[in-house]
Structure 1
Amino acid sequence: MKLIINTPAGPDSKAGNRATAVRWQRLLQESGHQVTIETEYQGAQCDVFIGLHAWRSAAAIKAFKRAWPDTPLIVVLTGTDIYHHQHAYPEATYESMDLADLLIGLHDRVGQDIPERYESKLLTLRQSADRPESIGGSRLEPGQFHICVLGHLRDEKDSLRAAIASHHLPEDSNIIVSCAGKPHSDAWRELALQESRSNPRFHWLGELNASELGTLVAVSSVMVISSVMEGGANVISEACRAELPILASDIPGNRGLLGDDYPGYFPVKDDRALADLMARAENDEEFLAALKKKVVKLAETFEPEQERQSLEKALALVVQPKD
C-alpha cells in the first residue's frame, strides 16, 4: 500500500515523533509498503494516512480528510495529546480523534485517560528498540555507580530531577548522574549548565550520537525516567532492550509500559524519594537485581518484529479487503 506518515517534527529533528515516523517507515517498508514522511500535507492521495499527534497534526488531518474523505485515517496519540492538549485545546484535539478511523495509543493505560467514546477505535502498540551491542552495565567503571538520563531537556521530562535528587545522597555515595539531551530552550540550557557547574555528581553531556549513547548505556547501572507526562516513552523500550534497570516517575505512561508490579517507581517531582531509590539501587544488590529481572522480562514486548506486526494489524483494521 501507499502510506503517508505526517509528523510535526522536521527531517533534522531528533524528537520522539520524528524517531517514531522514521522507524515506522523502515518497518512498513520491510512489509513491502511505500511510505512517505511529511511535515505538511501536500494533498497527495494514498491508501492510508497516519497522523502522528492529534493536536499538532490537526491541520494536516483536516486537510487530508477534506481531500479524501473515504480514505482511512489513523491518528497516533502522544503524551501531550492525552495529558495536556485534550484538556487545553479540546476542540482541535477531539476533532482529529473524531475524524480518525483508528486511534493508536502507545501504552496500556491510554484507554483510561481518554473519553470512553473513543475506546472502540483504540489500538495499543508498543514502540520497539533494537538490542544494543553492549547491554547496560557491561562496561562498569570501578568506584563509580553511573545513572543516566536520556532525552530532550524540557518541562514534560522534568529532566534535572535526578540531578536535584543527587544532592540528597550520602557523602560516601559513588553515584554519578549523566544527562544526555538537547535543551528545549535557552532557559533549560542555562539550568543544565548551572547544575553541571555546582553539582560534582552531575554531568550534562549535551546531545549525543548513537555510538556515544551506546557507551553511556554500557557504563550505566540505572536509567532514571522522571517525566511528568508520557504517551509511551521509547526510552523505556531502549532501556529494557539494553537490560538496564529503570527508576521511573509514577505516571500512567510509565505504568502502562512497565506494569503495576514494577518496583522502581517514585512520586512525580519527589527528589527525596528518588534519592532514596537511587541509593537503594547502589547499595541493595537484591533490589537492583529485581529491577533488572523485570526489564529483561519486558524486553521481548519491545522487539521490532512485534511492532511491525502491530502496525500491520492497524492497517488491516482500517483497510477494507477488495472483492
Structure 2
Amino acid sequence: MIALHAKKSAMAIEQWPDNKALIVVLTGTDLYRDIHDSSQAQRSIEKADRLIVLQGLGDRQLPTHLREKTRVVYQSCSARKALQKTGRHLRAVMVGHLREEKDPLTFMAAATHLKGQSILLDHIGEALDAELGQAAQRTAASCPAYRWLGGLDHEQTRRRIQQAHVLVHASKMEGGAHVIMEAAQSGTPVLASRIDGNVGMLGETYPGYFPLGDSKQLADMLLQLRHEQQTGENGLYTELCAHVAQRAELFTPENERQSLLAVIQEVLPVHEKR
C-alpha cells in the first residue's frame, strides 16, 4: 500500500497487515504539523517500510532514526514552452489561495512598496480567509498595479505563469509546492521565501530567496529585475532562469515515475522473504 498522509490515512495504515509492504507519503501538513502533535501520525511513520517526502529537505522534520528509510520523490507536471515576455513592464504572479500558510500579506505589502513602478503584481487564489480577501481588496484599491484575480481554473493559471516574468512564492509552510514545479516547467523563474519547503524544491544555492515575511526585500528584488529588464544587463534574472532550467529536470513525469518505482522495488523484496 502507498498511503498519502500519515494522519488522514492512519486508520487504513493501522489495519494494514504487518507482512505486507507499506509506503507512506508525507505532505507539508504531515511534516510541519501532524507528525509533531498527532499520535496517529507518529504511529503511521513508525510502521511504514519507507517514507516519501516531496522535497529535498523534508526529512529534517523527521526523528533521526526514521531518516534512513526516507526517500525523496519530486512530483511532476507537463512542460510548457517558455513564452516571449514583454519589455514594457515586469509582471510578477503569486498563485495560492488566500490563507495564512501562503502568506499573501507579504505579496500585498510588496505591492505598496512598488507604487509608481512599472511592475505589475497579479494574485491568483480564492479567499479562504475572509480577512485576507478584504486585505486583497484594499490593496487593489490603493495600488493599481496589484490585481487580485480570484480563483482561476488550472489552464488559466498555468497560462498566467507562462506569461509572467517571475513567480512569487511567499509561503510560510510547504511540503513541495506544485506551483514551483509548474513555473520551472514553464521557463518562469521564482522568487521564494527561504523556508525548507522552498529550498528543498529549488536548491540551497538558488539565488532567488528572500527572508520569510520580508516584503521590502521582495520588492527590492523585483526592482532589480525591472532595472535589468530596462538596461539589458545580465544579472539576477539570468541567474534565476539558469537555475530554474536545471531544477526543471527534477519535475518531469519520467523522473517521478523512476523515483517512485525505485522505492517500490526497495520494499517488495523485503516482504517477499517474510
Give the alignment's TM-score, normalised by structure 1: 0.77
By how many angstroms is 1:276 displaced? 0.9
1:76 to 6, 22, 25: 25
Q: Would you say 1:227 and 2:167 are equivalent positions?
A: no
CA contact (8 A) 1:139 1:218 kept: no
C-alpha distance in structure 1 between counterparts of 2:218 and 2:263, whole Å: 38
Count residues in correspondence. Answer: 267
Q: Would you say 1:52 and 2:4 are equivalent positions?
A: yes
Give the match for residue 256 of structure 2.
Answer: 307
Question: In structure 1, the residue corresponding to 2:254 is in which secondary structure?
Answer: helix
By how many angstroms is 1:273 displaced? 1.1
C-alpha distance in structure 2 between counterparts of 1:160 and 1:177, whole Å: 13
C-alpha distance in structure 1 between counterparts of 2:140 and 2:211, whole Å: 24
C-alpha distance in structure 2 between counterparts of 1:193 and 1:57, whole Å: 38
By how many angstroms is 1:265 displaced? 0.6
| Equivalent residue runs for 1:1-323 within 5 Å | 49-62=1-14, 64-65=15-16, 68-87=17-36, 89-132=37-80, 134-135=81-82, 138-169=83-114, 171=116, 173-284=117-228, 285=233, 286-320=235-269
Give the alignment's TM-score, normalised by structure 2: 0.90
Q: What stretches of structure 1 of length at least 5 have no aligned partner?
A: 1-48
Which has the higher relative contact order, 1 or 2, with Cα contacts under 8 A spaced 6 or more apart?
A: 2
CA distances 1:239-259 after superposition (whole Å, capped 9, x unpaired): 111111110100111111211
CA contact (8 A) 1:225 1:246 kept: yes
One-letter amino acid of the structure 1 residue matched with residue 29 of structure 2:
T
By how many angstroms is 1:170 displaced? 5.6
Distance change (3 Å), C-alpha of 1:163 and 1:318: same
By how many angstroms is 1:52 displaced? 1.4
CA contact (8 A) 1:80 1:231 kept: yes
CA distances 1:265-309 after superposition (whole Å, capped 9, x unpaired): 100011111111111121124211111111011111111101011
By how many angstroms is 1:122 displaced? 0.4
Q: C-alpha root-mean-square deviation of aligned residues, in Å?
A: 1.9
